Amino acid sequence: MTKMRAVDAAVQVLLKEGITAAFGVPGAAINPLYSAMMQAGGIDHILARHVEGASHMAEGYTRAKPGNIGVCIGTSGPGGTDMITALYSATSDSIPLLCITGQAPRARLYKEDFQCVDIESIAKPVAKMAVTVREPGLVPRVLQKAFHVMRSGRPGPVLIDLPFDVQVAEIEFDPDTYEPLPVYQPTASVRQMEKVMELLAKSAKPVIVAGGGVLKADASAELVKFAEITGIPVIPTLMGWGAIPDDHPLMIGRIGIQSSHRYANISFLESDFVLGIGNRWANRHTGTVDKYTKGRTVVHIDIEPTQIGRVFNPDYGVASDAKAALEILVALAEVHKDKLPDYSAWAKACYDRKRDPALQRKTHFNNTPMKPQRVYEEMNRAFGKDVVYVTTIGLAQIAANQMLNVYKPRHWINSAQAGPLGWTMPAALGVVKACPEADVVAISGDYDFEFLIEELAVGAQFNLPYVHVLLNNSYLGLIRQAQRAFNMDYCVQLSFENINAPEIGQYGVDHKAVVEGLGCKAIRVFKPEELAAAFAEAQDLKKQYKVPVVVECILERVTNISMGGELDAVTEFEETGSTWDDAPTSIGALERGR
């Protein structure tokens, strides 16, 4: 046993658990931990400009690679409260994330000391575990438990709060013999998966709904193999996008009331069996539950037992890690394939529908100001199959879901349930830190872009290059579209005449000037025919200067993006001249080739 400060033991645990990078903002209450990191070495620290930014960087870092755990470090009080949004985002999407905060000395707790807040109580509702460590000897063991909790079962975030006197207290600890705790994952039995196959064999038109749990379990290969053996079409959720390549003949699109394809909604509504793996039946995926489940047998496999039956009660449920379940399903399918119906005609019908021009949304517009659809069309051309997209919320994200293509696991990185504005930029920086060779492209509307714009300076300072596509309509576009239900357009316009940038008219903020002032590169595009050259130039600038490069696309002010309240009642907005009008389109009309 060796005598050392509790924070020195903490850093040794971090290193033993595989942590090599951290994001944060130092301060008085957490300086002891920083001193321990400096002395030990081995953890590369990225200094953020805002603690919320640091926490989203850590999120991006986790999401980018299997096995990664992002670490965010901040000082007491507001440093901790700044992390709450990331804890909520990580909990919602089952992301392991370690937040460490400094705290006032134990004697000052609950006495309204400077920047002393009960962060443990604040964090508990949005974290898998949150604790203020009150005994120095517990510091390494609480961290050991934290890693076990983050990795076991449904992954999630942890917050550990360290009072100043606890950090600097001397304890005995032997780092040489430290071992991480074994990770617990529920595993399906063969009998359970035989039951799934028995139910499947009774269906004529089955589909697989692949959720984010497939990616977290690193089970994309098993998913594709099972689909190919059985011939069952696959529908990835928003979090599962990339589990099967977009151009695979069994990938039939994504369903839902926003981030979806109309051909996929039609196919799903024809199905009679749904095998959900690693998904949570999110409302934007299902629409109303009654319509989603009517006439279908539903099987749900998820790592979290209490997820099964939370939204609706499936016909059969199994608590299991996605990879463990799929490995058994693959083995059973290989042995008993002859006992399954031939689904080839059903799969071909779904694939043909996917290729039907009448069911594609138009993207090739030559309008100036540009329509966002054309931007995504050019992005599909400009960025290859290895691109990693990062985005969070709004019309920019929803349209991207409908029009972009993703071909590999973890190449679509999205805060799906929480969708906090400002998430995209720091998350992209975290992705670049995790995968420095990756071709990372972020997508933001102007409001999301402005929320944490100062984090671009982090990309410049630490050479974290990526391309950020900024779709600027000078509007809170999704809220404006939602306000149509109230016949209003109220408090959602971002436009004003910038006296220092007359060239952008009423588009308000001179993003190009701000981006360049933060040490990055920017290109502004007004015409659709300029997009291809701008994307190529951005890639060149990124490689040359090794900083983020922003491509700002000046869009028409108002564009409505397809969405609705039900899978068979998504409102399509068809072009009529230079404006967009409502054209509610039924599934029946679409099937007639409207």
Q: What amino acid positions are annotated as catalytic residues?
A: 25, 51, 421, 476, 479
CA 30 to chain centre: 29
Which residue in 145, 154, 216 sits closest to 182, CA to CA? 145
Distance, in Å, from the CA atom of 275 to the CA atom of 272, rounded to the nearest integer, reads 10
Amino acid identity for residue 505 in this structure: G
Axis crossing angle, helix 372-382 with helix 531-545, rounded to the nearest 10: 50
Measured CA angle at 30 (ends 25, 31), to 5 deg:
90
The helix (H) or strand (E) run that includes residue 239 is none
3-class DSSP string for 95-159: CCEEEEEEECCHHHCCCCCCCCCCHHHHHHHHCCEEEECCCHHHHHHHHHHHHHHHHCCCCCEEE
What ranges make up the beta strands (E) of 405-546?
A: 412-414, 439-445, 467-472, 521-525
Residue 264 Cα distances to 106, 319, 557, 574, angstroms: 57, 27, 29, 19
C-alpha separations of 162 from 5, 42, 121, 363, 395 in Å: 13, 21, 14, 52, 40
Per-residue burial over 117-133, b = 16 or more CB atoms within 10 Å of its CB, e = otherwise: bebbebbeebbbbbbbb
Backbone φ and ψ of 83, nearest 5°: -85, -10
- Cα–Cα distance, 512 to 522 (Å, whole number): 5
Write the CB contacts of 418 (distance below 8 Å, at least 6 apart in sequence): 85, 88, 89, 92, 93
Distance (Å, rounded) from C-alpha 385 to C-alpha 148? 35
Cα–Cα dist 497/509, whole Å = 9
Q: Note whether 169 and 134 are within 8 A (CB).
A: no
C-alpha torsion angle, residues 82, 84, 87, 91 (rounded to 10): -160
Residue 238 tokens read as: 């928003």
- Can you list the positions of beta strands (E) in 320-464? 387-391, 412-414, 439-445
